[in-house]
């Protein structure tokens, strides 16, 4: 009698979702774990998020990833939440504990720290950090940044009220200063400048000033792919070392996969494969990759 192989179900929900790399990343992880995975990318608007999540839960999925613009709504849908998701008031991961009991998690902060510390070898303790932006991604990474005990975190946002509200929400976890775009140039330089704005999706950089950067400062852009181009161009022109957020994307996905399945993926090979695919897509040398047919 033929053996039946169990199908693991997962998905990512958001809008727009067509270009999501999550299906490809999770297929790499599933291959490492020896799982047969169906991971769907589901386009969904605000009004239908709850219905689509319920459908996945009813169909036996382990959970789902949630991406922009639904992270706050996903948090509200869950019955319980981790401390990270609670303080961020946003979930990028739902874990289906049963068909009707869902736990909200946020793995963006773990993803960022794993990329900065494990992959790039940075030490954040005692360092100064400037965080640009105050949206869902900034809220998602602040808890883990504070846990690294930097000497200073400054949040700067186009709408100053949002930066102040974010700093207030995190005050139990450490001191967070805020400044306006206008006063950014008077704050001195930082060891690490993190771009958590969505400016790159409109082809612009988030208005940087050269005084933010000392000779050994690093600019880390949460955006990747075409959305990273404007900031990357600014940094190249101003001789600033700049890294995109592809490593964070893979690391936050790995943490979600671990929470759902108990398996910890090896991320280095997956990141290398994605970078090779990007290289190939730009019209360079052909490469082979185990999940290229699943690329999102």
Residues that bind ligand NDP (CB under 6 A): 68, 108, 111, 133-138, 157-159, 162, 196-201, 204, 206-207, 222-224, 227, 245, 248-249, 252
Nearer to ligand NDP, 57 or 230 (CB): 230
The Cα 84–Cα 278 span in angstroms is 32
The Cα 85–Cα 90 span in angstroms is 5
Nearer to ligand NDP, 191 or 205 (CB): 205
Q: How far is the CB of 272 from ligand NDP (least distance, A)?
A: 17
DSSP labels, 129-192: EEEE--SHHHHHHHHHHHHT--SEEEEE-SSHHHHHHHHHHTGGG---EEE-TTTGGGS--EEE
Q: Are 84 and 109 in contact (CB under 8 A)?
A: yes
Give the active site residue among 71, 103, 125, 239.
Answer: 71
Q: Are 11 and 95 in contact (CB under 8 A)?
A: no
Nearest-5° Cα angle at 14, 227 to 250: 55
Nearer to ligand NDP, 57 or 131 (CB): 131
Q: How far is the CB of 208 from ligand NDP (least distance, A)?
A: 10
Q: How far is the CB of 186 from ligand NDP (least distance, A)?
A: 18
Residue 71 among the catalytic residues: yes
What are the beta bridge partners of residue 191? Answer: none
Q: How far is the CB of 59 from ligand NDP (least distance, A)?
A: 26
Element housing 26 (H / E): helix 22-33
Nearer to ligand NDP, 162 or 258 (CB): 162
Which residues are identified as catalytic?
Answer: 71
């Amino acid at each position: 009698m033929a053996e039946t192989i169990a199908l693991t179900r997962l998905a990512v929900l958001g809008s727009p979702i067509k270009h999501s790399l999550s299906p490809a990343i999770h297929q790499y992880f599933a291959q490492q774990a020896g799982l047969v995975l169906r991971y769907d990318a589901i386009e969904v608007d605000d009004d239908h998020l709850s219905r689509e999540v319920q459908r996945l839960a009813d169909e036996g999925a382990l959970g789902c990833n949630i991406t922009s613009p639904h992270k706050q709504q996903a948090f509200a849908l869950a019955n319980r939440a981790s401390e990270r998701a609670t303080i961020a008031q946003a979930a990028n991961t739902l874990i289906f504990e049963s068909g009707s009991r869902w736990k909200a998690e946020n793995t963006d902060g773990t993803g960022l720290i794993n990329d900065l510390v494990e992959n790039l070898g940075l030490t954040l303790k005692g360092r100064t950090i400037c965080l640009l932006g105050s949206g869902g991604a900034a809220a998602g990474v602040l808890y883990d940044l504070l846990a690294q005990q930097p000497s200073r975190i400054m949040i700067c946002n186009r709408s100053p009220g949002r930066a102040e509200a974010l700093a207030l929400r995190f005050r139990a976890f450490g001191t967070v200063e805020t400044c306006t775009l206008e006063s950014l140039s008077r704050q001195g330089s930082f060891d690490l400048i993190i771009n958590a704005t969505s400016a790159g999706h409109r082809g612009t950089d988030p208005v940087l000033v050269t005084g933010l950067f000392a000779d050994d400062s690093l600019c880390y852009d949460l955006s990747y792919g075409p959305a990273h181009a404007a900031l990357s161009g600014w940094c190249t022109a101003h001789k600033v070392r700049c890294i995109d957020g592809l490593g964070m994307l893979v690391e936050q996905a790995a943490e979600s996969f671990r929470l759902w399945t108990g398996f910890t993926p090896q991320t280095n090979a997956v990141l290398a494969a994605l970078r090779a695919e990007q290289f190939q897509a730009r019209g360079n040398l052909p490469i082979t990759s185990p999940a290229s047919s699943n690329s999102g």
